[in-house]
Structure 1
Amino acid sequence: MTRINLKRVLFWLSLVLLSTLTAHSQTLCVIDGTPIPDSLLHITIDEMRSDSAKQIVAKRLGFIPPYAIESIQTFSAEEQIRQGKNITFCKSPADIIIIRTNSLAELQWVINGKLRKPRKKLTIIDYKLSPQRITEALPRGIKPTDILTADILTYINDPRLEKHPTIVIKTKTSNRLLNQRSQPEGK
């Protein structure tokens, strides 16, 4: 008799768990076309409809200033599906939030003390989601194996609005040049 009761309890427990998961579906947040995990940015649709939405996103992310956020749009997932949008979800979210950043979220590249242009544009959000993207965006002539140090500088509370997040890289070639300059000419 205990086996039957245990099976019933497990069955009802699984039904309750499934119903609570579907009742409390998450909000899907997309920044610059990339879905953001809830662990990185947990926001609600009500927060994003408020006047301080940009400040909320900036504070929760912690590495982007509010003025680097260009726009925030909110949609109901059911409404988008009803309108015939070509959207497919494994588990339908309650709402969809689309955030677009401007050029102030793009990383500037300083390599060996000089401003360089990357092979492809990279935002601070791309970096936070996948630091390996740095190797894809390295300027021409720089190999990942040449990198000695890489530091990310963010200017969140800086009053100068034109400050971009910056990646500062030192390579092996800069050290070789310094060593050659410091050696006397006769050796």
Structure 2
Amino acid sequence: MNKKILMELSLKRTLTCIILTVLTSLTTRAQTLCVIDGIPLPDSLLHVTINEMRSDSAKQIVAHRLGLIAPYAIESIQTFSADEQIKQGKNITFCKPPKDIIIMRTNSLAELQWVINGKLKKPRKKLTIIDYKLSPQRITEALPRGIKPTDILSADILTYINDPRMEKHPTIVIKTKHTAPSKNKRH
């Protein structure tokens, strides 16, 4: 009997939270939609205004707020008015139209380099630092051949935001349980 009452209270609390979330999201003003490399970013990761993105320092603003990539890893930034795009007959549909749309593209300097047990390795599929930040489990999908997620002892992400060397990529450094046996083994 007590379990049933607790379950009903929990359900009521959950429904109340859902209703409040929906109501607050319906009453808030439309935000700017930021898309990097085809992936919409939540405001919690990057919140910028259309005026900031139209300024000469837009790349620096994005790099600083993301805290993941250097400004030179951002290839381009385009800004659009959502109303303008809809009026022009673009095939865009939104549940809740954004105020503005910002589309950014990164270059290869945003791609993660992979260092496994001290050696540079090629991943199964390319992964950018933005992909990683939005969904860290994508690392397991991109692991180089022969590496299993269960073999990983540690994984660290290195970013070179303030490094003056432009060729520095964000790097994932992985240490595994098993290292490849040495070919030059002496007995």
Please give the range of the TM-score, normalised by the shorter of the 2 chains: 0.7 to 0.9
**Which residue of structure 2 lines up, in the alignment, with residue 126 of structure 1?**
131
**Which residue of structure 1 lines up, in the alignment, with residue 49 of structure 2?**
44
TM-score by length of 2: 0.82
| Structure index of larger Rg | 1
TM-score by length of 1: 0.82
**Which residue of structure 2 lines up, in the alignment, with residue 32 of structure 1?**
37
**Which residue of structure 1 lines up, in the alignment, with residue 143 of structure 2?**
138
**Which residue of structure 2 lines up, in the alignment, with residue 117 of structure 1?**
122
4+ residue segments displaced more than 6 Å:
none
CA offset digits 1:102-136 (Å, max 9, x no partner):
00000000111111100000000000000000000
**Which residue of structure 2 lines up, in the alignment, with residue 66 of structure 1?**
71
Query: What is the number of residues matched between the two proteins?
Result: 163
Task: Tell me, yes or no, if structure 1 residue 96 matches structure 2 residue 101.
Answer: yes
User: Structure 1 vs Structure 2: percent identity of aligned residues?
Assistant: 83
Q: Distance between the aligned counterparts of 2:170 and 2:75, measured in 1?
A: 16
Structure 2 regions of 5+ residues with no counterpart? 1-23
**Which residue of structure 2 lines up, in the alignment, with residue 157 of structure 1?**
162
Q: Distance between the aligned counterparts of 2:25 and 2:177, measured in 1?
A: 55
Q: Distance between the aligned counterparts of 1:31 and 1:108, measured in 2?
A: 19
Distance 1:51 1:113, change over 3 A: same
Which of 81, 85, 100 is 2:86 aligned to? 81
RMSD: 2.1
Secondary structure of 2:68's counterpart equals coil
Residue 70 of structure 1, CA deviation? 0.2
Q: Distance between the aligned counterparts of 1:19 and 1:46, measured in 2?
A: 24
Equivalent AA in structure 2 for residue 47 of structure 1 = E
Secondary structure of 1:54's counterpart equals helix
Secondary structure of 1:85's counterpart equals coil
Q: Distance between the aligned counterparts of 2:67 and 2:136, measured in 1?
A: 16
Q: Distance between the aligned counterparts of 2:128 and 2:26, measured in 1?
A: 38
Q: Distance between the aligned counterparts of 1:84 and 1:140, measured in 2?
A: 45
Q: Distance between the aligned counterparts of 1:67 and 1:78, measured in 2?
A: 31
**Which residue of structure 2 lines up, in the alignment, with residue 54 of structure 1?**
59
CA offset digits 1:162-181 (Å, max 9, x no partner):
0000001111112x969xx8
Equivalent AA in structure 2 for residue 107 of structure 1 = L
Secondary structure of 1:67's counterpart equals helix
Q: Distance between the aligned counterparts of 2:68 and 2:125, measured in 1?
A: 21
Equivalent AA in structure 2 for residue 140 of structure 1 = R
Residue 143 of structure 1, CA deviation? 0.5
Residue 63 of structure 1, CA deviation? 1.0
